């Protein structure tokens, strides 16, 4: 049943994404705003519904009181491709910081560019940081929020990598609230995994970060908030769905 359910959802889900990329690669030539609206209000909500009714994965959003009604910087744990599809349905029109190589992929990459994703050339050093800031400021001026993954890569549930300075650089220069985001997506939709495990994915928005800390204290607090909450969500999920325990890395 797991295989059949995963297969059916993957066909529907990836067909939806492919259709959206093709559609927006055309529409984006004429109107970037239209491409953003199509993803935010049509394609991604449909994708999430298909995930629930076909894939068996329900989405629960917690901490909605911390979602800002103005542009903000969201610092999210990254365990799966799933959060990149779900977060823009909650934080409407959010633009993600991603590696520049993804924009080189035909059609898919073009759609990312038209959507207004913030591409970063990680080999460019300081110039990459400045370019990232310029693009992020444009998104904020367009009344859009920015989402960044502080670790810079997907991590297996229960693991972590050093939080990178790009988040701090944006936080210091954008002058918008910084909202940490914890999640448990990797337990149900693993990196490079075909299977979609039935259960409840939780995306939890946390209290915005204080702005009166020095750099070291700021990053330590951000990491502590995100990682401790992810640990809580992981333990809750494994308790409710014992069959996914093998997807959690325990130290």
Terminal-to-terminal C-alpha distance of the chain: 31
**Residues lower than pLDDT 50 in the chain:** none
Average pLDDT, the chain: 94
Judge whether 170 and 132 are in contact, CB under 8 Å. yes
Looking at residue 148, its pLDDT comes to 97
How far is it, in rounded angstroms, from Cα 24 to Cα 35? 5
Looking at residue 231, its pLDDT comes to 98
CB atoms within 10 A of CB 240: 10
For the purposes of burial, counting CB atoms within 10 Å of the CB of 63, is it exposed (0-12), middle (13-18) or buried (19 or more)? middle
Give, as one character, the DSSP assignment of residue 105: S
pLDDT (tens digit per residue) in 46-55: 999 999 999 9
Domain that holds residue 179: 58-247
Total domains in the fold of the chain: 1
CA atoms lying within 13 Å on the CB side of residue 192 = 3
Looking at residue 224, its pLDDT comes to 98
Looking at residue 104, its pLDDT comes to 81
Looking at residue 250, its pLDDT comes to 86
Looking at residue 99, its pLDDT comes to 86
Residue 93 belongs to a domain: yes
Residue 199 belongs to a domain: yes
| CATH number for the domain harbouring residue 212 | 3.40.1130.10
Q: Specify the 3-state DSSP secondary structure of 11.
A: helix
Residue 182 belongs to a domain: yes
Residue 122 belongs to a domain: yes
Residue 27 belongs to a domain: no
Residue 90 belongs to a domain: yes
Give residues with Cβ within 8 angstroms of 75, minimum separation 6: 147, 148, 149, 150, 167, 178, 179, 180, 181, 209, 222, 226
Return the axis-axis angle of helices 165-174 and 126-141, rounded to nearest 10°: 40
Residue 1 belongs to a domain: no
How far does Cα 120 stand from its chain's mean position? 16
Residue 38 belongs to a domain: no
pLDDT (tens digit per residue) in 78-99: 999 999 999 999 999 999 999 8
State the residue for tokens 């009344």.
143
Tokens of 73: 């910087």
């Amino acid at each position: 049943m797991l295989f059949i359910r995963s297969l059916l959802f993957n066909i529907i889900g990836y067909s939806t994404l492919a259709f959206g990329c093709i559609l927006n690669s055309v529409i984006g030539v004429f109107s970037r705003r239209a491409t953003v609206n199509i993803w935010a209000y049509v394609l991604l909500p449909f994708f999430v519904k298909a995930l629930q009714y076909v894939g068996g994965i329900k989405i629960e959003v917690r901490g909605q009181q911390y979602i800002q009604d103005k542009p903000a910087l969201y610092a999210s744990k990254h365990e799966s491709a799933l959060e990149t599809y779900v977060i823009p349905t909650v934080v409407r029109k959010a633009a993600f910081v991603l590696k520049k190589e993804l924009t080189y992929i035909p059609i898919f990459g073009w759609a990312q560019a038209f959507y207004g994703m913030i591409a970063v050339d990680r080999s460019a050093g300081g110039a990459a940081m400045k370019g990232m800031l310029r693009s992020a400021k444009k998104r904020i001026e367009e009344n859009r929020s920015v989402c960044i993954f502080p670790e810079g890569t997907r991590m297996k549930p229960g693991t972590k990598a050093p939080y990178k300075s790009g988040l701090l650089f944006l936080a210091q220069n954008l002058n918008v609230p910084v909202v940490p985001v914890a999640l448990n997506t990797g337990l149900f939709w693993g990196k490079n995994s075909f299977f979609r495990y039935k259960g409840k994915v939780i995306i939890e928005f946390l209290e915005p970060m204080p702005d009166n800390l020095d750099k070291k204290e700021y990053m330590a607090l951000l990491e502590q908030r995100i990682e401790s909450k992810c640990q809580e969500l992981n333990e809750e999920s494994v308790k409710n769905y014992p069959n996914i325990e093998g997807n959690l890395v325990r130290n």
